[in-house]
Structure 1
Amino acid sequence: MRIPALIAAAAILLTACGTTEEAPPGGATAAAGGPVTVTDSRGKAVELKAPATKVVALEWAEAEILVSLGVPPVGVADAAGFKTWDSVVTLAESTEDVGKRNEPSVDAIVALDPDLVVMAEERESTLVPQLEKYVPVVVTKTSDAGRNFDRLREDVKLIAKAVGKTAEGDGLLADMDAGLAEGRKAVEAKGATGTPFFMADGWLEGSTVSIRPFGKGSLVSDIAERVGLVNAWTGEVDPQWGLGQTDVEGLTALTDPRTVLFYSASEEDVFSTGLEQNPVWQRLPFVTSKKITKLAPGSWTFGGPESVGHIADQLVKAVTA
């Protein structure tokens, strides 16, 4: 099951057209090439003289979505990191790096003379007023553990509308949904529906391995549930990202022998290098049964529709092999 590259561009929202229908969440539909108004996650109406063609993206999911829509960003925050962590699309060599995601350079952004800056809600507090002196800014929701797939749709449709690619965005989302449905059928056919899973990433703090579970409501958990799996992690998670925190001892709560482990490690792999000699780790059910799948490097767990498809493919393959 591979979601076509076209899917990657949009990330999910509902489109509404016509004079008798309710306006879509991104704002009223504009004539092709004419002025466009979108309403972003702040509830702010952002007016553009025309669909944006020179866009700076300050978060990787937004950069991925733009590339997928056929509007490659002229600037990206931490472009080198993007190439490591999100490999489902390719940034143009001409893409400028505008600084860190948590601290981009206003000067570097303005120097590109963009039509639009797209950024994540969690980073907008002090940066938006600075940028809006020079360029329109659209703020996406980025994550919401209470409704992550709906949120993704809204973010994709918002971006697609701002760059004049509404139809392309709708097509990407439709392809994504079709790919997830196909994956669910494959899981059902194998009799693997209801397989419990644990998804995490991790890092070393001194000699201690810290583990970050992807709980219910995280985008990866929603992907897995869409293809028929069940999240085995019931620990506390944050309300935006659906992420938790634990150590290897905390994983002893995972006792179901059917549980499979998925983990992300595009750089340091603490699961294979920091835990392999740990006696607690060695007794965990997915370790003893060897039901462990490392996601391919560049599988961005907070990405757009194309990342969703890429991750879903790997989950389905692992439980149907």
Structure 2
Amino acid sequence: MPSPLNRRHLLSAAGAAGLAALTGCGGGRSSAEPAAGATDVPGFPFRYEHRFGTTLVPAPAQRVAVLGVTDADPLLALGVQPLTNTGFTFYPDKGLGPWAAGLQTGPLLKLGSDADVNVEQVAGVAPDLILALVSGIDQALYDKLSAVAPVLARPEGSTAYGADRTATTLTIARALGREDEGEELTEAADAAFTDAVAAHPEFAGKTGLVALPYDGRYGVFSPQDARGAFMENLGFSLTPEVAALDTGESFFIDVSAERLDLLDADVLVVLTDDSTRTGVEQDPVLQRLPVVQRGGLVLPDLDVRGAMTYNSVLSVPYGVSRLVPDLSAALA
């Protein structure tokens, strides 16, 4: 596949001497080692198994650094201010979408790419927990970060940036000692989907694709991606033709310019920005597809695209309330 997509493209970061001591082979402690100051709070220490090993959180976290691109959302929803954030490129200032408006009131250090983060910057905010659940960090970066504070990394079996919304929220809630609140948040997000499906029986049994244009082709998101999952949660499924191409090894199905016929479904959602929207609207082959001819093409604005991409307990109600009317109109 030429010019393959990567998550960051589609989804669009102590002093030096102290850091050297933290990350040296013989210094520091692993995420699985208990830290001084552990308490007898029920549920702690919290032991978390993940892709890179085991992390032990000795006590409810209070100073939390965020690397995961959407991890700040559940943290804010749980009433804790992130000290750092990455986020997607839609929101370059703080990495936070409009659904989080007013929740971030404290100082926030905006980091660069989560996969190539400056560990010294993270150490500089003195966190007692680092969130890297919806992220692309590797083992080497995890090991360096673990010398700074316990790190919650993506679950075993999940792809980079592919951690499940519910699992991510509940894991963060456990690390904060706020498990009951986490349950309430996940239930509210799930209810936004189930209520929308109940209110729109016309969605039942329909196919719906969500795609992103890139390099003269399209990537159709599979249900293991946040955007594909968003559509699936609203009752839509991949077309049989696209589903047959989904090997489960990637978060998207590549569709070349010569096979745009594969984008024909009951509803086609194409995610654009200012640089790609006109090209989609004027694509002669796309415009000839039956789904487009009958009014089934949906071009969400950037904030709805962001809400689908974040697919968090905060962004889901925001995105559902704005996307569902367009989907209903597309099926009318």
TM-score by length of 1: 0.75
Aligned partners of 1:158, 1:136: CA distance in 2, in Å? 13
Residue of structure 2 aligned with 1:38, choices 43, 47, 59: 47
Aligned partners of 1:176, 1:307: CA distance in 2, in Å? 9
Q: Which AA in structure 2 matches 1:77?
A: T
Q: Which structure 2 residues correspond to residues 132-147 of structure 1 after superposition, within 5 A?
A: 132-141=146-155, 144=158
Q: Does the Cα contact within 8 Å between 2:173 and 2:182 map onto a contact in 1?
A: yes
Aligned partners of 1:313, 1:142: CA distance in 2, in Å? 32
- Tell whether 2:205 aligns with 1:198: no
Q: Cα RMSD over matched residues?
A: 3.0
Q: Which has the higher contact order (CA 8 A, sep 6+)?
A: 1
Q: Which structure 2 residues correspond to residues 32-181 of structure 1 after superposition, within 5 A?
A: 32=41, 35-42=44-51, 44-77=53-86, 80-81=91-92, 83=94, 86-90=97-101, 91-92=104-105, 94-120=107-133, 122-141=136-155, 144=158, 151-181=164-194
Q: Does the Cα contact within 8 Å between 1:144 and 1:239 map onto a contact in 2?
A: no
Residue of structure 2 aligned with 1:217, choices 186, 211, 224: 224
Shift of 1:243: 1.3
Q: Secondary structure at the match of 1:262?
A: strand
Aligned partners of 2:132, 2:124: CA distance in 1, in Å? 17
Q: Secondary structure at the match of 1:304?
A: coil
TM-score by length of 2: 0.73
2:281 is matched with 276
Change (3 A) 1:132 1:215: closer
Aligned partners of 2:115, 2:82: CA distance in 1, in Å? 18
Q: What percentage of aligned pairs have identical amino acids?
A: 22
Q: Secondary structure at the match of 1:195?
A: coil
Shift of 1:62: 1.0
Q: Which AA in structure 2 matches 1:140?
A: R
Q: Secondary structure at the match of 2:254?
A: coil
Unaligned stretches of 5+ residues in structure 1? 1-29
Shift of 1:33: 8.1
Q: Which AA in structure 1 matches 2:268?
A: L
Change (3 A) 1:40 1:220: same
Q: Which moved more, 1:223-232 or 1:127-136?
A: 223-232
Q: Does the Cα contact within 8 Å between 1:295 and 1:311 map onto a contact in 2?
A: no
How many equivalent pairs are there? 279
Q: Does the Cα contact within 8 Å between 1:142 and 1:155 map onto a contact in 2?
A: no
2:20 is matched with none
- Tell whether 2:321 aligns with 1:313: yes
Aligned partners of 1:46, 1:152: CA distance in 2, in Å? 20
Aligned partners of 2:245, 2:97: CA distance in 1, in Å? 27
Change (3 A) 1:246 1:83: farther
Q: Which AA in structure 2 matches 1:230?
A: S
- Tell whether 2:239 aligns with 1:226: no
Aligned partners of 1:286, 1:143: CA distance in 2, in Å? 35
